[in-house]
Amino acid sequence: MSAKVHLHMHVSDLGKSRDFYERFLGGDPVKVKPGYVKFLPEWAPVNLALSTGGPGGAGTIDHVGVQVDSVETVISQLARVKAAGLSVKEEMGVNCCHANQDKFWVKDPDGVEWEVYHLNYDLEGDEDRASARPSLAVVGASACCGGTTSCAS
């Protein structure tokens, strides 16, 4: 088994969240218990646990990123997620977080944004600021990566 990032999120509606993550991650949960669901998708290095209630309230994560190995993987996952009927925001060739990336975003029922991205190349010096395309920023975000100041890249 390869290493995976573990995320545990509290959700407001476990049924809605389970449906969303089944479609986004492309498979059924590996564990389902009362008030708890766990996913280990084959294509993404994540161990995602969802539960109801808990401290901090539902959907308190700013955004989550899954860095993939190629642009082709971004494109194939984008096609799969679109076919699953989820709304996506595409950002191809965007300069973000001091790097050029191809990516797409989805938002879960609690407003948690997920980006699936490939880092094409790092930017040096002022070229990231000069060539950034702010029109591609995620709606409502104050930084290019969907969050306030940080980025998974």
pTM, to two decimals = 0.65
Q: CA-based angle 142:144:146, to the nearest 5?
A: 70
User: For the segment 109-141, what is each residue's pLDDT rounded down to a tens digit?
Assistant: 988 889 998 989 988 765 544 444 333 333 333
Q: Which domains does the chain have, with CATH numbers?
A: 5-52 (3.30.720.120), 63-136 (3.10.180.10)
46-52/5-11 β-pairing: parallel
Confidence (pLDDT) at 51 = 87
The DSSP bridge partners found for residue 10 are 51
Asked if residue 41 lies in contact with residue 14, where contact means CB atoms within 8 angstroms, the answer is no
Q: What is the mean pLDDT of residues 72-101?
A: 93
Q: What is the pLDDT of residues 23-39, one digit of tens each?
A: 999 999 999 998 899 99
